[in-house]
Structure formats: structure tokens, C-alpha cells
């Protein structure tokens, strides 16, 4: 079997598989983005956005991938003349720091090695030094399959009076984020991850406090301009019309499933994945206590590199999982299990992994990984 995008088992760390309803929703003639139909669509999306974030707030959709949302938030919210602290323990934390440095002269990074837990004490003491206007942190570090414990930071962020700005790109609709309880001021989601919509949109949630702190920083991504247009169910510039149509359908699917159910299902799939990884005799890459529920990062077994493992999955079994990034290329592989990923995806993937490891003489307990998954099925 060779790779076939129409029928592949698609488990990369996002974009994720898209439901046929969402695909069909995009397939319509051009719409007038200043006409009543499109305004109605924007209105519906506005009503549905709290389903994704789990709360109400000032919420909007930007035409651009997740990074556009981060750039919008940082350019409109990083306080001028005050410090900005960015936490990094993986590729996307480092990217956040790079974006923040474009819009603030006073960025301090607090760093842990890739895959290690958030350095909570170091962040707290940085906040206590004072004059911190914003803390930027990634909720789910996709590059290493690790969920950062933002709850542990929340009280210190509040005490410091800093804006709490969260990259939730691979977390929203996959990992619980109690926005109100933790006092989060901005969250950025990517359409192509937990929401299972096509790539190309960023969703942004802002608190009341963030809304009143907005300042102009970018033209295209000026959040105040986007919010002002949204009051009239409008967008300031020509939006990615087909993606908005797809997003409405993806949000409707999420509403039908229910956010709590999607979060619980994603957690269950993640637990089954981790148990199956153990049963294969493989090792998780990140600290297990903080292993992500949306993407599992696994060390490549000794002697089996990408060519033997990931490429065989793709070429022989039409299964796509993802490799490592940066220094982790060839050292880890990642399985995404967010959005509409489900039990059959895991069963097929781990059956193929059992076969590949078995043929290489590296399968300690044949059938055990599948048994671990089956036992966790509803």
C-alpha cells in the first residue's frame, strides 16, 4: 500500500483529519464577504466560539495560521516600557520568544530543556522581581508532547498584575483550560488542531482586561480593528471565506459532541496511547507526569530510525504520524490524537507498530499494545 491522502490514517500533530461535513461546507461558490449571508455566518461563528474556549469573552477569528494569532496578541498587548516574560521548554516556546522580541524591547526568557516540565519556581521568582507587564506561555508544547501546568503559575501571574497570554494552539478543545479560574487574558487557538477544521485560521479569546489594554501594533492583525468590525459581524479585510464556512461546521460538530465530551475522549485516547507505547516497550519523550493529551511524543527505539519506523508506517500501511523537530529529528516520533481522531485510528496504528517492531525482533509482548487500547475503549 502506498500513501493515499484520501484514505490515510492521519495522525500527525496537526493539521488533523477533517470530517466530511466540514470538507463539504467549504465547497460552495464564491460569497460576497460584505453581503448578508456572510455576515450571518460571522454572527453564527461568534455565537459558537464560546463552545471552543469553554467561556465567553471577546473572541474573534483571524485569517492566518496560529502564528498570526500569536503575532496579533503580542503586537496588540505586550506592554510598552514594561518587562515581558516568556517561558520556553520546546520549539513553540522558543518561537513565542522570537515573536515577542519583535514587539517588546524587554523580553526575559525563562527556559527549561525541551521536554522538561515548566520551571515553575524560576517563573515565579522572575515575576516577583517586579515590573512584568505580560507572561507568555505555551499551554501544550506540541514539539515535545508536553502539557504545561499553567494552573501552577496562575496565582503568581495574578499577584504580579501581569497579562497572562497563552499559546493554546494545540490545546484548545483538547486539554482543559479554565480561562476564568486561572485568570487567563488571551488564548490563541489554531483551526487545524483540536477543532479539526482546515489549517489557516487563528481563533483568539481576550479577557475584558486584555480588551482594554489593546494598543495598535500591527496593521493587518490589529485586534482592536478586528473587534470593531466584528461588532457588525464583519471583518476588516477580505477574510478566508471558505475557511470560515468550514469553521462554522467544525464548531457545530464540537457543539454536538460537547466540549467536555471532546476533552474527556481526547484524554482517554491519550491514556490508551501511552499504555500502548509502554506495552511496545517504547519510552515517552517528555516527563510522563506532564505528557500531553493531544500529542504523544515517543523516543525512537534503538536501531530503528525514521526510515524504518515512520516511513514504513507511511509506505506499507498508509499511516501518517509525525517526526521530531529541531534537535529531535530522527530521535522521536509523535502521534496526534486530537480533534476527531478516534479508536479505529489508534488500533490501526498500533497494529502496524506491533508488526514493524515484531519483524525487527523488538516486540516484547505481541498483542499487548492492542489489548491495552481495547481495554480502554468505551
Nearer to ligand PLP, 273 or 372 (CB): 273
What's the CA angle centered on 50, arms 44 and 52, to 5 degrees? 100
Q: Which of 8, 67, 108, 218 binds ligand PLP (CB under 6 A)?
A: 67
Number of residues that bind ligand PLP (CB under 6 A): 12
Q: How would you class 360 by CB atoms within 10 Å of its CB: exposed for 0-12, middle for 13-18, buried for 19 or more?
A: middle
Q: Which of 18, 136, 138, 284 binds ligand PLP (CB under 6 A)?
A: 138
**How long a stretch of residues is the chain?**
378
Give the footprint of ligand PLP on residues 249-268 (CB under 6 A): none
Residue written as grid cell 496504528:
349
CA-nearest of 117, 108, 112 to 136 is 108
CA dihedral of 112, 118, 124, 130, whole degrees rounded to 10: 60
How does strand 58-63 pair with strand 201-206?
A: antiparallel
65 binds ligand PLP (CB under 6 A): yes
190 binds ligand PLP (CB under 6 A): yes
Residue 66 touching ligand PLP (CB under 6 A): yes
For CA atoms 141, 12, 170, 368, give the dihedral sign. Answer: negative
Stretch that binds ligand PLP, among 163-171, 245-253, 309-317, 329-337 (CB under 6 A): 163-171
Q: Which stretch binds ligand PLP (CB under 6 A): 118-126, 135-143, 263-271, 326-334?
A: 135-143
Q: Is 62 an interacting residue with respect to ligand PLP (CB under 6 A)?
A: no
Nearest Cα to 248, choosing from 40, 41, 52, 57? Answer: 41
Rounded to the nearest whole angstrom, what is the least distance from the CB of residue 273 to ligand PLP in the complex?
A: 18
Q: Under rule CB under 6 A, which residues in 77-106 are in contact with ligand PLP?
A: 92
Which residues are registered as beta bridge partners of 86?
109, 136
115 counts as binding ligand PLP under rule CB under 6 A: no
* 135, β-bridge pairs: 85, 164
CB 173 within 8 A of CB 194: yes
Site membership for ligand PLP, residue 336 (CB under 6 A): no
The region of 54-62, 78-86, 167-175, 369-377 touching ligand PLP under the rule CB under 6 A is 167-175
Which residues sit at the interface with ligand PLP, rule CB under 6 A? 14, 65-67, 92, 138, 140, 142, 167, 169-170, 190
Amino acid at each position: 500500500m502506498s500513501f493515499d491522502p484520501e484514505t490515510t490514517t492521519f495522525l500527525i500533530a496537526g493539521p488533523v483529519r477533517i470530517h466530511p461535513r466540514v470538507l463539504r461546507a467549504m465547497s460552495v461558490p464564491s460569497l460576497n464577504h460584505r453581503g448578508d449571508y456572510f455576515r450571518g455566518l460571522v454572527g453564527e461563528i461568534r455565537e459558537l466560539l464560546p463552545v471552543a474556549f469553554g467561556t465567553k469573552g471577546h473572541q474573534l477569528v483571524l485569517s492566518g495560521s496560529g502564528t498570526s494569532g500569536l503575532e496579533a496578541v503580542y503586537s496588540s498587548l505586550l506592554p510598552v516600557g514594561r518587562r515581558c516574560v516568556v517561558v520556553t521548554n520546546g520549539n513553540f516556546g522558543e518561537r513565542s520568544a522570537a515573536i515577542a522580541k519583535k514587539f517588546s524591547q524587554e523580553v526575559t526568557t525563562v527556559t527549561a530543556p525541551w521536554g522538561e516540565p515548566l520551571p515553575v519556581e524560576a517563573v515565579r521568582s522572575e515575576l516577583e522581581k517586579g515590573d512584568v507587564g505580560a507572561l507568555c506561555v505555551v499551554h501544550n508544547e506540541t514539539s515535545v508532547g508536553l502539557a504545561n501546568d499553567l494552573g501552577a503559575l496562575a496565582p503568581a501571574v495574578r499577584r504580579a498584575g501581569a497579562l497572562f497570554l497563552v499559546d493554546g494552539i494545540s490545546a484548545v478543545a483538547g486539554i482543559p483550560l479554565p480561562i476564568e479560574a486561572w485568570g487567563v487574558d488571551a488564548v490563541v487557538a489554531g483551526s487545524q488542531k483540536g477543532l479539526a477544521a482546515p489549517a489557516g485560521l487563528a481563533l483568539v479569546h481576550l479577557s475584558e482586561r486584555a480588551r482594554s489594554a489593546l494598543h495598535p501594533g500591527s496593521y493587518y492583525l490589529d485586534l482592536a480593528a478586528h473587534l470593531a468590525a466584528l461588532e457588525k459581524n464583519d471583518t476588516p479585510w477580505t477574510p478566508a471565506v471558505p475557511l470560515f464556512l468550514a469553521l462554522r461546521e467544525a464548531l457545530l460538530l464540537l457543539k454536538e459532541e460537547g466540549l467536555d465530551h471532546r476533552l474527556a475522549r481526547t484524554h482517554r485516547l491519550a491514556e490508551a496511547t501511552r499504555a500502548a507505547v509502554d506495552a511496545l516497550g517504547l519510552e515517552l519523550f517528555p516527563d510522563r507526569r506532564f505528557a500531553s493529551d493531544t500529542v504523544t511524543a515517543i523516543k525512537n527505539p534503538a536501531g530503528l530510525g525514521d526510515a524504518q519506523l515512520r516511513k514504513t508506517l507511511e509506505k506499507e500501511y498508509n499511516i501518517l504520524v509525525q517526526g521530531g523537530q529541531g534537535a529531535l529529528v530522527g530521535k522521536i516520533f509523535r502521534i496526534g490524537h486530537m480533534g476527531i481522531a478516534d479508536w479505529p485510528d489508534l488500533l490501526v496504528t498500533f497494529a502496524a507498530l506491533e508488526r514493524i517492531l515484531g519483524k525487527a525482533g523488538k516486540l516484547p509482548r505481541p498483542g499487548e499494545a492492542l489489548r491495552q487500547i481495547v481495554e480502554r475503549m468505551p
